[in-house]
């Protein structure tokens, strides 16, 4: 007979073991070796109306490396980006969609999807980019009906509308943005556009705001009839009817958000560069910059400065624009963007309003403190999209 | 000693208790029992006073037992008011119809799959299903303020998702008009009340294309409308083709590459605020402005919709309004054929003197 103390400890051990056996659940950590970083936007911004009611609703499912059945219908996929809705005008520098709202509609991928996202790479926050195994992938975009049924649970006849079925090669540790675009306005041909970003490799300064521009509009958009393309809509401004294939870009910086805000010296209609419509060639546009503290009187911690960009056809002078400030019908010769948070008594004329490019946030002991960002402005068929990428900044001290 | 064994017993008890907890496995409990309170397809229709004419039609075609035994079914049941629109007021009136036509009519309202509102993609336009008759069914649905508006071939579903033991039933307030194996051309030529329009389309060269794929939407005034403004068959026969703008005079009745149910205008006005559709007249500045909606506001129960066409000399101001014509005849709108639709129009859009060539 064993001593009773030993017996007791055997009992204890048995109980503890049982607790262990029941309490353990295995946690599987996902890991992707050699990832590439991918962010996907649905730029199909046409509206289904009476005139084009037979066109497909621009509501998509992205399937990467899908499995097809014998009829060519996708039945499974390694990576699925479902409910891909038309993109939002503003893609903020932080993942703003996941966990917010009850809708399944996703304005970008990864967006609301719960997937592994990118790290902070060379100081840039890539948490809006999904990790994808690098290498060659088959990519399929499908039109899907607008409801809340996941793609593979849809009725078989609703899973037959292919937008594009193609392959792409993603290199390890590279940053990509993938766009679904209309390539030709007249034939309504759609396609994709994969851009290998390079902002994380450039020697960009912390004290300058960077921005580059793309005009990814469909061929023939700006030439098309203004009524037919529905560009005369409140909020779209002169941009709604499109801009010409070749444009010059000018920047104007304003000191603060008041009605009589003064323009900052040296940045009153400053020429930045040229913008060519290009929905095919996959190259990164040059980044233009202006100082975060272009307003020397702001003190170097916080600035309320906002930005305006004017697009003018070659040969036109920003000091002598031959259209009134409220004219929307400019024949594609002039359009403008204001990047600001509208202030009291702000009067909108014919520009598109987007958020300010600066990040103003509590950091360290300063609340708020201004930070420079890297931005991309994309013009697609009369709509403008601003994507802002932020750097790391110090956490707040309370 | 006694106390010690009690202690041991307690240990043992807790171990047993844990073992018992682990050994218990609760399977989900399912009871698959048919609910006997729901009726099968035909029985439901037969027992509903408001569907008595549709029940009589099913009875005459003899597919009632089939509807009761089917497993997955959608019945789009036009109510009695819907049959009244067609001039069918009592079961006896159905005898005047050709039995094959009647059978086709009934089969067009039955689908051999169960389609509930939640199965139809919301804000879907022309989502197509196949009916028992083998025809295509165009379904459009739009949601506003949590209320669903659902149309089948332009007919409003006034009651939706009625549970049947073997499927679902939607009540329609208009019988769906559809004719298979015919084109808009065949449809018009089979109806003598549209003969003046047909002669005009023939004379100005719009007729032959109407048998091609299309799709077409034809705005069709009846003979009486033409005669009311003096455009009799003789007057049209005497018109000199070369001195009139054909695209304006008769081309305005032919909408190419379009297929519209009247309900489409309602659906789009809810969905994206497009309540007007501007249809340009070919080779002309003239434009048709089409809009649709309810017209009988005096009666809240009358949800009938009709359309209105306004002819303007130009899309943008300044323009003159030439005519404004309505198409409210519930009996004569939304005639679906294989290559488009014919929409009855209660008036004339353009008079010959408004389409004279100036040079």
Same domain, B201 and B152: no
Q: Judge whether B96 is closer than 8 Å to chain A, CB to CB.
A: no
Residue B290 confidence (pLDDT) above 90: yes
Same domain, B202 and B349: yes
More confident call, B18 vs B345: B345
Same domain, B153 and B213: no
Q: Judge whether B21 is closer than 8 Å to chain A, CB to CB.
A: yes
Q: Judge whether B126 is closer than 8 Å to chain A, CB to CB.
A: yes
Checking phi first, is residue A111 left (phi over 0); if not, alpha (psi -120 to 50) or beta? left
Q: Judge whether A228 is closer than 8 Å to chain B, CB to CB.
A: no
For A53, which of B4, B15, B126 is closest by C-beta distance? B126
Q: Judge whether A4 is closer than 8 Å to chain B, CB to CB.
A: yes
Give the closest residue to B217 by CA, choosing from B342, B346, B330.
Answer: B342
Q: Judge whether B25 is closer than 8 Å to chain A, CB to CB.
A: no
Residue B178 confidence (pLDDT) above 80: no
More confident call, A268 vs B21: A268
Alpha-carbon gap, residue A269 to B58, rounded angstroms = 76
Write out pLDDT tens, residues B30-87. 766 666 678 888 999 999 999 999 999 999 999 999 999 888 899 999 999 999 999 9
Residue B300 included in any domain:
yes
Same domain, B137 and B93: yes
For A53, which of B119, B264, B278 is closest by C-beta distance? B264
Q: Judge whether B69 is closer than 8 Å to chain A, CB to CB.
A: no
The mean per-residue pLDDT over the stretch B273-292 comes to: 89
DSSP string, B334-345: -EEETTEEEEEE
Residue B113 included in any domain:
yes
The mean per-residue pLDDT over the stretch A37-47 comes to: 93
DSSP string, A349-381: -SSEEE--SSEEEEEBTEEEEEE--EEEEEEET
The mean per-residue pLDDT over the stretch A209-233 comes to: 89
Q: Residue A185 has what pLDDT?
A: 92
Residues 6+ apart with CB under 8 A from A170: A36, A38, A132, A134, A135, A137, A176
Write out pLDDT tens, residues B121-145. 878 888 889 999 888 899 999 888 7
User: Would the CB atoms of A146 and B264 count as touching at under 8 Å?
Assistant: no
Q: Is the peptide bond before A198 cis (omega within 30 degrees of 0)?
A: no
How far does the CA of residue B105 sit from the closest CA of chain A (Å)? 25
User: Would the CB atoms of A146 and B268 count as touching at under 8 Å?
Assistant: no
The mean per-residue pLDDT over the stretch A376-397 comes to: 92
Residue A152 burial (10 A CB sphere; 0-12, 13-18, 19+) = middle
Residues of A in contact with B12 (CB under 8 A): 11
Residue B1 included in any domain:
no
Percentage of chain B with pLDDT > 90?
Answer: 54
Q: Judge whether B4 is closer than 8 Å to chain A, CB to CB.
A: yes
Residues 6+ apart with CB under 8 A from B50: B79, B80, B171
Our separate counts of H helices and E strands in chain A read 2, 22
Q: Residue B100 to residues A151, B56, B90, B96, B284: CA-CA distances in angstroms?
A: 41, 15, 19, 12, 45
CB A38 within 8 A of CB A129: yes
Residue B94 confidence (pLDDT) above 60: yes
Nearest-5° Cα angle at A84, A83 to A85: 100
Chosen domain end from B116, B138, B172: B172
* Total structural domains within chain B: 2
Alpha-carbon gap, residue A260 to A266, rounded angstroms = 18
The mean per-residue pLDDT over the stretch A61-75 comes to: 92
Banded pLDDT at B310 (limits 50, 70, 90): very high
Q: For chain B, how big is the Rg over CA atoms in Å?
A: 29
Angle between helices B99-107 and B52-61 (to 10 degrees): 120
Q: Judge whether A47 is closer than 8 Å to chain B, CB to CB.
A: yes
Same domain, B104 and B242: no
Q: Residue A42 has what pLDDT?
A: 95
CB atoms within 10 A of CB A191: 17
Q: Residue B27 has what pLDDT?
A: 67
Write out pLDDT tens, residues A308-345. 999 999 999 999 999 998 898 899 999 999 998 878 88
Same domain, B70 and B130: yes
Give the closest residue to A312 by CA, choosing from A270, A283, A361, A346.
Answer: A270
Alpha-carbon gap, residue A389 to A376, rounded angstroms = 8
In this structure, is the dihedral angle defined by the CA atoms of residues B204, B205, B211 and B213, taken in order, positive or negative?
Answer: negative
User: B327 is in which domain, residue-wise?
Assistant: 184-354
Write out pLDDT tens, residues A71-124. 889 999 999 999 999 999 999 888 888 888 888 999 999 999 989 999 998 889
Mutate to test the interface with A, among B121, B138, B255, B285 (most CBs of A within 10 A): B121
Q: Residue A51 has what pLDDT?
A: 83
DSSP string, B184-243: HHHHHHT-GGGHHHHHHHHHTT-SGGGGSS--EEEEEE-HHHHHHTT--HHHHHH--GGG
Residues of A in contact with B18 (CB under 8 A): 15, 18-19, 22
Chosen domain end from B147, B172, B197: B172
Phi and psi at residue A196, in whole multiples of 5°?
Answer: -90, 105
Alpha-carbon gap, residue A271 to A320, rounded angstroms = 14
Same domain, B282 and B157: no
CB A245 within 8 A of CB A280: no
Residue B286 included in any domain:
yes
The mean per-residue pLDDT over the stretch B230-259 comes to: 91
Residue A130 burial (10 A CB sphere; 0-12, 13-18, 19+) = buried
Residue B145 included in any domain:
yes
Q: Residue B349 to residues B196, B231, B289, B291, B292: CA-CA distances in angstroms?
A: 14, 12, 11, 15, 17
Q: Residue A137 to residues A32, B72, B254: CA-CA distances in angstroms?
A: 15, 41, 48
Q: Residue A68 has what pLDDT?
A: 92
Write out pLDDT tens, residues B150-171. 999 999 999 999 999 889 999 9
More confident call, B18 vs B175: B175
Q: Residue A25 has what pLDDT?
A: 66
Q: Residue A21 has what pLDDT?
A: 73
Distance of CA B45 to the CA centre of its chain: 21
Banded pLDDT at B328 (limits 50, 70, 90): very high
Same domain, B206 and B295: yes
Same domain, B73 and B164: yes
Residue A28 confidence (pLDDT) above 60: yes
Q: Residue A140 has what pLDDT?
A: 94
Alpha-carbon gap, residue B62 to B65, rounded angstroms = 7
Chosen domain end from B172, B194, B229: B172
Alpha-carbon gap, residue A9 to A27, rounded angstroms = 30
For A18, which of B8, B18, B271 is closest by C-beta distance? B18
Window from A14-23, A251-260, A345-354, A388-397 with minimum mean pLDDT: A14-23
CB A85 within 8 A of CB A106: yes
User: Mean pLDDT in chain B?
Assistant: 89
Q: Judge whether B189 is closer than 8 Å to chain A, CB to CB.
A: no
Write out pLDDT tens, residues A161-214. 899 999 999 999 999 999 999 999 999 999 998 999 999 999 999 899 999 999
Write out pLDDT tens, residues B191-219. 999 999 999 999 999 999 999 988 999 99
User: Would the CB atoms of B11 and A11 count as touching at under 8 Å?
Assistant: yes
Same domain, B168 and B272: no
Q: Residue A358 has what pLDDT?
A: 92
Residue A63 confidence (pLDDT) above 60: yes
Mutate to test the interface with B, among A47, A52, A53, A230 (most CBs of B within 10 A): A53
Residue B27 included in any domain:
no
Residues 6+ apart with CB under 8 A from A182: A43, A44, A46, A188, A189, A190, A218, A380, A381
Same domain, B217 and B150: no
- Looking at this predicted complex, what is its ipTM? 0.74
Nearest-5° Cα angle at B97, B58 to B138: 60
How far does the CA of residue B187 sit from the closest CA of chain A (Å)? 23
Residue B2 confidence (pLDDT) above 60: no
Q: Residue A259 has what pLDDT?
A: 79
Residue B8 included in any domain:
no
Q: Scanning every residue of chain B, which has its alpha carbon at the shortest distance from the alpha carbon of A155?
A: B119
Q: Number of CB pairs < 8 Å for A and B? A: 59
Same domain, B203 and B160: no
CATH value at residue B223 = 2.30.180.10
Residue B62 included in any domain:
yes
User: Mean pLDDT in chain A?
Assistant: 90
CB B198 within 8 A of CB B164: no
Give the closest residue to A68 by CA, choosing from A178, A148, A142.
Answer: A142
Nearest-5° Cα angle at A287, A281 to A292: 155
Residue A37 confidence (pLDDT) above 90: yes
Q: Is the peptide bond before A368 cis (omega within 30 degrees of 0)?
A: yes
Residue A397 confidence (pLDDT) above 80: yes
CB atoms within 10 A of CB A46: 19
Residue A139 confidence (pLDDT) above 60: yes
Q: Residue B16 has what pLDDT?
A: 83
Nearest-5° Cα angle at B162, B158 to B163: 175
Alpha-carbon gap, residue B252 to B200, rounded angstroms = 12
Residues of A in contact with B122 (CB under 8 A): 146-147
User: Would the CB atoms of A53 and B125 count as touching at under 8 Å?
Assistant: yes
């Amino acid at each position: 007979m064993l001593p009773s103390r030993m017996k007791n400890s055997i009992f204890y051990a048995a109980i503890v073991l049982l607790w262990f056996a029941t309490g353990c659940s295995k946690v599987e950590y996902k890991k992707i070796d050699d990832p590439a970083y991918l962010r996907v936007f649905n730029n199909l911004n046409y509206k289904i109306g009476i005139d084009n009611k037979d066109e497909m609703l621009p509501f998509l499912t992205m399937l990467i490396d899908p499995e097809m059945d014998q009829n060519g219908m996708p039945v499974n996929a390694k990576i699925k980006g479902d409910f891909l809705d038309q993109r939002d005008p503003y893609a903020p520098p932080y993942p703003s969609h996941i966990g917010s709202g009850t809708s399944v509609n996703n304005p970008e991928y990864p967006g609301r999807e719960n997937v592994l996202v990118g790290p902070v790479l060379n100081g840039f926050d890539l948490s809006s980019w999904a990790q994808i195994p690098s290498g060659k992938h088959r990519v399929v975009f499908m039109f899907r009906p607008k409801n809340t049924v996941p793609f593979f649970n849809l009725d078989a006849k609703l899973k037959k509308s292919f937008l594009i079925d193609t392959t792409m090669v993603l290199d390890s540790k590279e940053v990509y943005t993938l766009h679904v675009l209309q390539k030709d306005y007249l034939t309504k041909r759609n396609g994709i556009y994969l851009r290998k970003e390079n902002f994380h490799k450039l020697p960009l300064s912390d004290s300058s705001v960077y921005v580059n521009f793309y005009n990814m509009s469909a061929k023939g958009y700006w030439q098309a009839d203004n009524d037919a393309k529905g560009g005369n809509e409140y909020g779209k401004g002169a941009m709604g009817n499109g801009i010409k294939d070749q444009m010059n870009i000018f920047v104007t910086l304003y000191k603060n958000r008041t009605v009589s805000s003064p323009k900052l010296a040296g940045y009153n209609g400053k020429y930045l560069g040229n913008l060519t419509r290009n929905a095919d060639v996959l190259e990164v546009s040059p980044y233009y910059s202006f100082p975060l503290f272009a307003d020397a009187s702001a003190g170097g911690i916080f600035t309320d400065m906002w930005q305006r960009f004017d697009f003018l056809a070659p040969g036109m002078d920003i000091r002598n624009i031959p259209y009134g400030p409220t004219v929307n019908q400019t024949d594609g010769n002039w359009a403008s963007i204001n990047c600001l948070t509208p202030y009291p008594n702000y009067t909108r004329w014919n520009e598109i309003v987007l958020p300010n490019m600066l990040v103003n946030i509590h950091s360290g002991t300063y609340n708020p403190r201004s930070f420079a960002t890297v931005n991309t402005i994309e013009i697609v068929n009369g709509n403008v999209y601003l994507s802002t990428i932020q750097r790391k900044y110090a956490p707040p001290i309370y | 000693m006694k106390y010690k064994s009690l202690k041991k017993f307690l240990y043992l008890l807790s171990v047993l208790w844990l073992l018992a907890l682990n050994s218990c496995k609760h399977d989900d409990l399912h009871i698959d029992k048919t609910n006997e309170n729901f009726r099968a397809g035909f029985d439901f229709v037969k027992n509903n006073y408001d569907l008595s004419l549709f029940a009589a039609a099913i009875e005459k075609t003899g597919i009632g037992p089939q509807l009761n035994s089917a497993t997955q079914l959608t019945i789009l049941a036009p109510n009695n008011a819907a049959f009244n629109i067609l001039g069918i007021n009592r079961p006896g009136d159905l005898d005047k119809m050709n039995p094959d036509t009647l059978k086709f009519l009934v089969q067009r309202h039955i689908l051999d799959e169960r389609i509930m509102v939640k199965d139809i993609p919301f804000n879907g336009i022309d989502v197509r299903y196949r009916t028992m008759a083998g025809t295509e069914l165009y379904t459009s649905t739009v949601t506003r303020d949590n209320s669903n508006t659902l149309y089948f071939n332009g007919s409003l579903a006034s009651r939706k998702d009625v549970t049947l033991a073997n499927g679902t039933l939607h009540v329609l307030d208009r019988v769906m008009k559809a004719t298979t194996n015919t084109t808009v051309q065949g449809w018009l030529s089979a109806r003598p009340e549209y003969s003046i329009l047909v002669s005009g389309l023939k004379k100005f060269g719009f007729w032959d294309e109407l048998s091609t794929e299309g799709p077409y939407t034809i705005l069709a005034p009846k003979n009486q409308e033409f005669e009311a403004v003096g455009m009799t068959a003789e007057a049209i026969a005497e018109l000199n083709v070369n001195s009139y703008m054909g695209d304006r005079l008769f081309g305005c009745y032919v909408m190419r590459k379009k297929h519209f149910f009247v309900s489409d205008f309602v659906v789009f006005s809810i969905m994206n605020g497009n309540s007007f559709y501007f249809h340009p007249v070919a080779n002309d500045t003239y434009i048709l402005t089409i809009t649709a909606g309810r017209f009988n506001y005096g009666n809240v129960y009358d949800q009938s919709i009709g359309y209105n066409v306004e002819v303007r000399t130009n899309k943008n101001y300044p323009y003159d309004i030439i005519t404004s014509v309505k198409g409210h005849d519930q009996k004569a709108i939304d005639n679906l054929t294989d290559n488009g639709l014919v929409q009855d129009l209660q008036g004339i859009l353009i008079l010959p003197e408004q389409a004279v060539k100036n040079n």
